Chains A and B, each alone.
With several copies, the nearest count.
Chain A
Amino acid sequence: MTETITETFTELHEFLAAEQQLREDIRFVVKDMEQTTREIQKVLQAIHQPQGLKKVPELCESARKLFEAVKDQTKNLSDKIPVNQYYKYHDHWKFVFQKLMFLAALIVFLESENLIDRSVAAELIGAKVNKEDGFHVDLEDFLMGLLQLASELSRLSVNAVIAGDYNKPLLISAFLSNLESGFRLLNLKNDALRKRFDALKYDLKKVEEVVYDLSIRGLKPKDTSVLTELTN
C-alpha cells in the first residue's frame, strides 16, 4: 500500500510545484506591465498643466507608443496562461488591466470626445473582447476603467477652466451624464464596481458645479447647440 500512495503523492507534488512556478512567472510579467502603465500615466498627467490641453495630440501620440510595449507584455502574459485557467490567475493582472483600460479610454476621449469601444480598448493592449477569441479583458475590468476615467475628467474640467478653456467642462459634463445613464442600466452585483459607481455620481456633481460656475457668470459658450445634441 505504501508504495502506491507514495507514487500518487509524488505525482501530485510535481503538479503543485509547477503551478507555483507559473504564479511566479506571471507576477514577473505583470510587474513589467505595471512599470509601462506608470509611464503612460506620467505622460498623460501633463494635460492638467496650464499648457496641457494645447499639447493633446503630442501627448496622445507618446502614450500610444507606450501602448505598443504593453501589447508585447500582454502577449508574454497570455502565452503563460493555460487554456481554461484565465480566471484561476485573474487576480494577478486585474488591477493593471483596469488602469490600462482607463488610460486607453482617456486617450480616445481626448482625441475624439467619444466613449471608447470595448474592442478598441482591448486591441490597444493586444487582447480580445470575448473569451472565446483568446486572452481577453474581463468586462468588469473594462467598466472599472471607465469609472476611473470619470474621476480624471472631473479633475480636468477644473484645470480646463484655469487654462481658459470654457468649452471642455461642458463636453465633459455631457459625457459623464451619458456615462452615468449608461451605468444606471447595469444591475451591478460586483461590490467594487458599485462603490466606484457611487464615486461617479460625485464626479458628475463636481463637473455640474463647474458648468454652473461658468453659466452664472455668463462664461458658458453661447452656442450650446452641440451640447443639446450631445445629451439628447
Chain B
Amino acid sequence: MSTSTSIEPEVDHGNSKKTEVVNKFREFQSDLDGKHDKHERLVKISRDVTIESKRIIFLLHRYREGMSDTEKNKILEEGNQKMKLIQENKFHLMAIELKNEDPNQFMRAVSPGLQEYLEALSFYHYLEKGLLISLNEVQNQFVFNSSEKLESATFKVPAEEYLLGIADLSGELMRLAINNITAGKFDLSFKVCEFLQVLLSSFSLFGNTIKELNRKMTTLQQSLRKVENACYTLRVRGCEIPTHILADVIAGSGKISEQIE
C-alpha cells in the first residue's frame, strides 16, 4: 500500500499555524510508515514460515510405529530438507531485518511463524529421538553465516516463544497417537501419554508468567486427556485377552475363538 499520495498544497501557503501543524505530522507520517512497512515485511515472512511449517508437520504425520528404518528415515530426511530451506530463505532474512532493532517491537509479526516452526522442529526432534528439544539446540539453528547475498546475522529465540511452540507440540503428539491407534499401532500412544504427562507437570511449575501460555495449557490438558482416554480404552480392551494373543490379534492372525472370554 502506497501512502505517499497525500502531498499537501498547504505547504506553500507560508508560515500559518496550520502549516506548522501539518509539517509536524508529515514528519510523524514517515516514522510511522517506516515501522509499518517493516512490520508488513515481517508478517509476510512469518506467514510463509507458518505455511511451510504446517506442511512439515503434515509430512511428519506419515510416520507409523513399526515402520522400517528406511521408511522412517525417508520421512525424517524430507522434513529436514524443508526445515533447512526455511532457515536459509526465511529466518536468515528475518534476522537481518531485525538487526539493530528491538526485536520485541516486531514480535507480534514474527511470533506466529516462529512458534509454528518451533512446533515442527520439536515434532521432528521427538520423532527422531523420542526426546524434547532444548532451547540451546533450537538456538543453534538461528545463527546465520554470511552467504553470497546475505550478511551474517543471529536471531535470539526468546524463551517464551520456545515454550509456546512446545505447548503446541502436544496437539501434534496427540494427533500422532490417535492416528497410530487408528492404524492399529498401539505402543506409541503409551509413550506419548507418558511424555505429555511429564510435559504437563513440568509446565505446571510456571504460574501465570506468560499470558498466552494459559490458554495453551488448557489445550495441552485436553490433548493429554484424549491420549489418556485412548490408552485407557486400549488397556481395558487389551485386557480381555492375554497379551501374547493380543499381539497375534494385532499382527492380524485373528485366529482366536470365542471361548477365550
* Interface positions of A (Cβ within 8 A of B): 1-2, 4-6, 8-9, 11-13, 15-17, 19-20, 31-32, 34-35, 38-39, 41-42, 45-46, 48-50, 84-88, 90, 114-115, 117-118, 131, 139-140, 143, 155, 158-159, 161-162, 164, 174-175, 177-179, 181-189, 201, 204-205, 208-210, 212-220, 222, 229-232
Bound CA–CA A20/B51 (angstroms): 14
Bound CA–CA A87/B107 (angstroms): 9
Taking CB atoms, residues of chain A closer than 8 Å to B101 are 84
Using a Cβ–Cβ cut-off of 8 Å, how many residues does chain B contribute to the interface with A? 84
- Beta-carbon contacts of B130-142 to A below 8 Å, as 1s and 0s? 1110110000000
Say whether B82 faces chain A, with CB atoms less than 8 Å apart: no
Q: How far is the CB of B126 from chain A (nearest CB, A)?
A: 10
Given A182-B22, A218-B257, A232-B13, A139–B31 Cβ distance below 8 Å? Answer: yes
Bound CA–CA A186/B245 (angstroms): 40
Bound CA–CA A204/B31 (angstroms): 26
Bound CA–CA A9/B135 (angstroms): 10
Given A42-B205, A155-B228, A187-B36, A218–B261 Cβ distance below 8 Å? Answer: yes
Taking CB atoms, residues of chain B closer than 8 Å to A188 are 32
Bound CA–CA A9/B199 (angstroms): 9
9 A–B contacts, CB within 8 A, in A order: A1-B132, A16-B210, A32-B1, A39-B205, A42-B205, A90-B104, A181-B18, A185-B22, A218-B261
Bound CA–CA A210/B162 (angstroms): 37
Given A201-B178, A205-B178, A229-B16, A216–B201 Cβ distance below 8 Å? Answer: no
Interface positions, chain B 170-215, Cβ under 8 Å from A, are: 175, 178, 181-182, 184, 190, 193-195, 197-207, 209-210
Say whether B236 faces chain A, with CB atoms less than 8 Å apart: yes
Nearest opposing residue in chain B for A189, CB measure? B36
Given A49-B198, A214-B236, A87–B206 Cβ distance below 8 Å? Answer: no
Bound CA–CA A13/B16 (angstroms): 46
Partner of B159 from the list A15, A39, A184 (CB cut-off 8 Å) is A15
Bound CA–CA A45/B33 (angstroms): 24
Q: How far is the CB of B185 from chain A (nearest CB, A)?
A: 11
Bound CA–CA A39/B25 (angstroms): 16
Interface positions, chain B 7-29, Cβ under 8 Å from A, are: 8, 10, 13, 16-18, 20-22, 24-26, 28-29
